[in-house]
Amino acid sequence: MHMRDRAVAADLVFEAKDDVLGRLKQTLARRRRRRGSLQGVLYVLPAALLTAAFLAYPVFETVRLAFYDWNGIDPSQVYVGWANFSELFNEDPYFWQAVKNTVLWGLVTVPLELILGLSLAIMLDRKIRFRAGFRAIFFLPAVMSPVVIAIAWNTIYSPTSGIANSVSGFLGFGSHIGWLGDPRLALWSAALASIWRYAGLIMVFYLAGLQTIPASLYEAARVDGASEWKQIRQITLPLLKPMTVLLILLGTIGAVREFDMIWILTGGGPAHRSDLLSVQVFTNAFQTGRVGYASAIATIMLFATIIAAALELAYLARVQRSIR
């Protein structure tokens, strides 16, 4: 935007030398810029006010309340310093369980979504029959609501009549698996539902990325006798790298955001074994009435997201520079 302005201004200056219309344009532009400073603010104001009231103010409140003891109802909020944080770090095993689960959730779901999404994109980038239909089927979960998804997967995972057990019985792994009831399995069962939910979305982004790769590169590779697999490895993957980094960034944010689906599917159970940090914020704030404690967890989530996003954005910038 900056560059644009300077270019336009330079253009105007140049034209104005010998051209009356140019001079008129220049004064108009200058006047508009002066008047514009107020006008710009007016146009932005509604969005800025809404963002300030419903997003920024709650963020500051969360960070402030992290240092208070408050049940969310009483008028009195008691300042406790770092007590909430020290309780989290030193006395709350469930917190560490949720940290571990949230990190694992991101580390497992994001790469698997990317691999599945990229495979689908590469398969559906060819000219094949029913291409649009296939794409729609894979993308459909991304528009379904978390409530619908959670209830559907809940019945799939039913220990008595679920499809998951029919399939695993058919494959010889036994048909009495407690997909959501077994503490070792619950998180991973939910993760599978999440991968199913987002793979199509990733596919759509990769399909858009594939359109930007010139077909001539593949033709040249074919002339050189490169196998299909080699073409994917040496042309497709490197050129999709910026997109991959961007999707990892979006995936990381998505993993921290995850709440609705796992809340309805497992409620964080059994015995907190599928708790994500977001689930603990919710239970502390709205079920056990520890708003200050919940805010401490939320504050940690906030800063963890900022750090992760900053690192990934810096990496994205480097990748984009190296490609050009």
Partner 1 sequence: MNEAFRLTQRGILYVALILLAGAFLVPLVLIIATAVSPENGSVATTLVPRGLTFDNFNTVLHQANFGRLALNSVVATAASTAAVVLIASLAAFGLVEYPFPGSRLVLLFLLAGIMLAPAVVIAPLYQLVISLHLLNNYLGLIGPYTAFGLPVSILLFRNAFAAVPRELGEAATVDGASSFKIYWRVYMPISRPSIATVVILQVLLAWNDYLISLLVMTKSSMQTVQLAYTTYAGQFYNEYGKQFAVLTLVMLPVIVVFVAFQRQFIRGLTGGAVKG
CB of 281 to partner 1, least distance (A): 4
Question: Phi and psi for 68 in degrees, rounded to 5?
Answer: -125, 160
Question: Which residue, 85 or 139, has its beta carbon nearer to partner 1?
Answer: 139
Bridge partners, 69 (sequence order)? 78
The structure tokens 């979960």 sit at 141
Question: Which residue, 160 or 184, has its beta carbon nearer to partner 1?
Answer: 160
CB of 265 to partner 1, least distance (A): 12
Using the Cα atoms of residue 274, residue 280, residue 281 and residue 284 in order, give the sign of their dihedral. Answer: positive
CA atoms of 310 and 216, how far apart (whole Å): 36
Question: Which residue, 163 or 271, has its beta carbon nearer to partner 1?
Answer: 163
Question: Which residue, 90 or 161, has its beta carbon nearer to partner 1?
Answer: 161
Question: Which residue, 184 or 321, has its beta carbon nearer to partner 1?
Answer: 321
Question: Which residue, 141 or 187, has its beta carbon nearer to partner 1?
Answer: 141
Question: Phi and psi for 160 in degrees, rounded to 5?
Answer: -100, -40
CB of 214 to partner 1, least distance (A): 14
Which tokens belong to 13? Answer: 């200056």
Task: Please give the C-alpha separations between residue 191 and each of 36, 83, 291, in angstroms, as whole numbers.
Answer: 50, 33, 28
CB of 155 to partner 1, least distance (A): 5
* Burial (CB count <10 Å: 0-12, 13-18, 19+), residue 198: buried
CB of 63 to partner 1, least distance (A): 10
68 three-class SS? strand
| Peptide bond preceding 141 in cis form (omega within 30 of 0) | no
Question: Which residue, 11 or 87, has its beta carbon nearer to partner 1?
Answer: 11
Residues 6+ away with beta carbon under 8 Å from 260: 146, 147, 150
Burial 92-115 (b: 16+ CB within 10 A, else e): beebebbbebbeebbebbbebbbe
Q: Which DSSP letter does residue 271 get? A: T
CB of 217 to partner 1, least distance (A): 17
CB of 187 to partner 1, least distance (A): 17
R_g of the chain, CA atoms, integer Å: 26
